Amino acid sequence: MPAKILSQLISLTMEVGEIIMSHRKNAGNFSIKSDNTPVTQADKASNELIINTLKKLTPNIPILSEESSNIPFSIRKSWDEYWLIDPLDGTRDFIDGSPDFCISIALIRNHYPDFGLIYSPFHKVHYYRLPDQSSMKMVDKMSHKISTKKPKRSEKIVVGRYSNKNKPLKNHLNSKTDFETFKLGSALKFCLIAEGVYDCYPKFGRCSEWDTAAGVYILEGAGGTVLDLNNKPLTYNLKENTLSPAFRAVGYQENLKDKSTEVISFVTEPIEI
């Protein structure tokens, strides 16, 4: 099914991207949600258009979005297929004037992504993966296959711009040698590992399922791996809350030989948006 509506989803995200970009001058006008994270008019406008369009394209598939996440688990637990979206991933980047924000759309089937689409409105670049296919990057309506790369010299580790000071991440980095760190917001981190720009993304702070789903599927389709600290794949819609566990996303799987991780408590870690 995603293959049949891919062109519509590409058009949708481009339209949504233009709306988001039109709000950049007023990005400083935001409110704070109950979870203490900011929301802008761009988040709300993007959410409305994406949800309304998906309802028309796939009326029988339910939708879970960051901006409409109050659907109780008693209802969600019966879903074996649903859209999982973040209408503006990287809201804090957007507010601060950084270009590192994106639109993230995933289709979850049986608790795991089966389609992923990420669009960078600033750069006008799409990353996507159809079921059981390789991951693609689209620029100016031209798509090409992307793949991860083996580190040539020092390992390039990408971390969140606003979540790079937590203690577990510092401990992880202190255990390593011969590496460089780079700061980047949103799920674009998965995409840049998928095309070989970076090598690893360790995430030890809090994030939500809509922050990871599309990126996980795209990275895996380019040869990468995403595992939690128990070396298990991430799963979706199996519990009351929608938090993803701590994880390591890598392009070159040999990087997973580093086992220097620890059990992480999410109580005091900030949410990266």
Domain with CATH 3.40.190.80 in the chain: 155-257
Answer whether residue 228 shows pLDDT above 50.
yes
Q: What's the CA gap between 200 and 179, in Å, rounded?
A: 10
Q: Between 266 and 143, where is the model more confident?
A: 143
The backbone torsions φ and ψ at residue 63, rounded to the nearest 5 degrees and listed phi first, read -130, 135
Answer whether residue 269 shows pLDDT above 80.
no
Q: What is the pLDDT of residue 162?
A: 72
Secondary structure of 237-248 in the HEC alphabet? CCCCCCEECCEE
Give the residue-averaged pLDDT of 250-273.
48
pLDDT, tens only, 106-140: 999 999 999 999 999 999 999 999 999 999 999 99
pLDDT, tens only, 48-83: 999 999 999 999 999 999 998 889 999 999 999 999
CATH architecture of structural domain 155-257: 3-Layer(aba) Sandwich (3.40)
Band of residue 198 on the pLDDT scale cut at 50, 70, 90: very high
pTM summary value = 0.91
Answer whether residue 201 shows pLDDT above 80.
yes
Domain with CATH 3.30.540.10 in the chain: 2-145
Give 2-145's CATH code, choosing from 1.20.1290.10, 3.40.50.2300, 3.30.540.10, 3.10.20.90.
Answer: 3.30.540.10
Q: What is the pLDDT of residue 163?
A: 66
Q: What's the CA gap between 13 and 46, in Å, rounded?
A: 9
